[in-house]
Amino acid sequence: MKKVVVFLEKLIEDSEFIYPYLRLKEEGFDVISAAPENKVYTGKAGQSFKADKVFSDVKNETFDVVIVPGGYAPDLWRRDSEIVDFVKRHHVNGKIIASICHGPWLLISAGIVKGRNVTGFFAIKDDLINAGANYEGKDWVEDGNLLSSTNPQTMLPMMKRLVEKMKE
């Protein structure tokens, strides 16, 4: 069974966390959420979430897919060297990394966007370009093991493709 981790942190874009988490569970994949601490987190829209696991308990595990939701949370994750290294390790090992909206901020810090086709919320376009990414500006983009989308609405076709990739 394919294993998926969905990152959680305060000020996450609520729908960008809950939709991938539930959608992939619905498909029958082994999905967990992981956050820096064992506490309740409040998203940008005010929803409350509690992670299934503390990140330190899963940092040495290997997942088939890493989901990086947006909101302001990616700015916090990229300050944590263990989370950055986790994303980089999964990328190097060919695992799928899916990011939404501001999620590519974490991918930039992990050093995995240079020369890659990536999209994200328009406000981080310059960040992606300055990190060497080929900023597509499309609703969603697939480049090998990287999937990215610009916002909650565009994550829907990206998630459809992610499910297809996971079933291949």
* Residue that the structure tokens 């390790």 belong to: 89
Q: Counting every residue, how long is the chain?
A: 168
- Taking only the tens of pLDDT, the chain with its 168 residues reads 999 999 999 999 999 999 999 999 999 999 999 999 999 999 999 999 999 999 999 999 999 999 999 999 999 999 999 999 999 999 999 999 999 999 999 999 999 999 999 999 999 999 999 999 999 889 999 999 999 999 999 999 999 999 999 999
Does the pTM surpass 0.95? The reply is: yes
How many domains is the chain built from? Answer: 1
Q: Which residues are catalytic?
A: 101-102
Give the residue numbers spanning the domain of 115. 3-167
CATH number at residue 70: 3.40.50.880
